[in-house]
Structures are given as C-alpha cells and as structure tokens.
Amino acid sequence: MPHKIEVIATEEAFCTPEIYKRTKELVGQPGLSRSLELMAKTVFGESPQSAYLKERLFDLGEGRLKEMREHGVDRQVISLTSPGVQALGADVAVGLAREANDMLAEAIKNHPSKFAGLTAVYPLDVMEAAREVERGATQLGLKGVIVNSHTAGLYLDDPRFRDFLAAAEAYSMPIYLHPREPSPGMEQPYVDYGLFFAGWGFAAETGLHAMRLIMSGRLDEFPGLRIILGHLGEGLPYWMKRIDNRYKLQASLGNGNPIKELPSFYFNRNFWITTSGMEDPAALRLCLENVPNDRIMFAGDFPYEDPRGSAEMVRSTVTDPSLLHRIFEGTATGLFGLNREQ
C-alpha cells in the first residue's frame, strides 16, 4: 500500500443547539410515545452523562479534532444524531434539517481533510427531502444521507417515499439507516426493562427496517440504492442464511411478497455495514465470513462510544494488511467518494 492507512470513522454524530433544544422539549408532550420520551430524557436530559454528550455533539471544531487525534481517527463522516428532525413536526423539521446541513457543510469547508458529512432530511415531506438530497450532493458537498429509521412509524418501503429513494439513487447518495427507538406500533414490549434502547431495541427496529426494504421489492425497483447499517449489520449477517431458507419456504406456500432474488442477494448487493459500537471479535469474524469484505467499514460511534476500543478490536482480529486497509479506509473512500485531499 502506497501510504499509511487513514482511519475513517463513518458513524459520528453531531447536533445543532436548536434541534437539541426542541428534542428536549418533547418530554411531557401529550401523545409522545413512551420509548421516545425515555430516549429524550436519556440523551437530551440533565444528567452529567447528557452534559458530556451535549458538549461533544455541538463541537464541530477544535474539541472534536483533539479527540480524533487522541482516538487515532484521521477523518469523521459526520451525521445528525438520532432521532434527528424525524421526531419533530413538519412545520419546523424541514427548516431545521436545512440549517443542520448548512452548519455541517461549513465545518467541512473549514476542515476538508478531517470531516465529511451526510445530509439530514425530514422524510415525510418527500419532495423537500428529495430536493435536500440534491442540494446536499450538488451544492453542499455532502456524501450521503442520514435516516434515523422510522418517521412517525413509517418505513422507507412505504410507497410514499419512492421519490426520496429515487433521488438517493440518482445522486449516488448512500443512505445510512441509523437506529432510533422502536416505532409506536412495536414499542410496548421494549419499554419494559430498558429494552427500547441501544442494547436491543435499536437493532431490532433498524434490522426490521432493512428487512422491509428487502422484502418489499423496493431494491428491485431501485437496484442502485446503497444502504449502510451500523453495529455490524444490526444482527442480519447472523440471520441471513435462515432468512433465505425461510423465505424459500414462504414463497413455496404463496406467503409474503415475491421478490426477484433471495434476500441475501439484496443484502450483499445493496448493503454496507460498519463496526460502530461493536467490540466483539467473534461478531466481526462472523461478518467477515458472511458479508463481502469490501462492504465492511470502521465506525467509532462518537460521542456515544470510545472509538479506540472498536479500532483495537479490528486490529486484533484482522491480520491481512489489505483487508485492514479496506475496513479502515478503502471501502469508505469508494462508497462516499472521498479522497485524501478533501
């Protein structure tokens, strides 16, 4: 390899003060789902941990750069923290997404070799979301789209989101499908015992979203879509062989929605996964055996996790220098259209 491996972290969060404030204000509002209220209290609350997160989420300058140096991260692909604007009303969400994108683009302009970013959207305003994908790609220099799973309980397989998916495909903007708390229709069993949060509910919610995209036929309709899942694929690499097997049984019985290929075909063609929040060598080895190796990228999950632990796990598990290069740099560079001069 001609140069030292650049460590690119691909699921790194930020927030604007106004989005933070409005998300915090959701607590106690009538009709708010219990799991969203608990999430807002946890991440956007008054605890010392919340204050720690707030300081880092707001920082798109020297403080973030200092921590990147300490963590051994050369570049961050930054996106609006969950749930983004998707938990807010349409009357404010579109404008706040645009404001966040402008703020992120300015930070990238100030630090082009250190930061890249993903476009935030409010998916329920589909045409505005499609326009913002275009603006992010053609005017702001952003490299993809962040979607924090469901919006008001709706998933991207819903027919109303076709124009948004078409824009993401047309402008070659990968969609990072990031977790949030379970949707209102599935939340009740997850609220007990804290199961709605990152330990279980986030993966269940986002894995379901990914499977809906596969099983609905949307990836036959939009074959060029590129979807990113964090946390080593939200459990899907572990399940994919069984998913294929059971799909064949369902198809033979005439159940479900027919798709042109087996589910694993779409997973291997349309999905990329990152290491965010996963410090388990066994899980990474399973992914290396079951996922194309040019579809796995490093992520630190800043500021919610310590990127050093994830990076050390990758280095201790992967001994092939060319594969290590792909995970830390090569795959992200190709997927997001990065170069070392940016």
Active centre residues (catalytic): 301
Write the burial class of residue 216 (CB in 10 Å: 0-12 exposed, 13-18 middle, 19+ buried).
middle
Could you give phi then psi for residue 41, rounded to 5 degrees? -65, -35
Alpha carbon of 100 to those of 79, 256, 319: distances in Å?
9, 39, 39
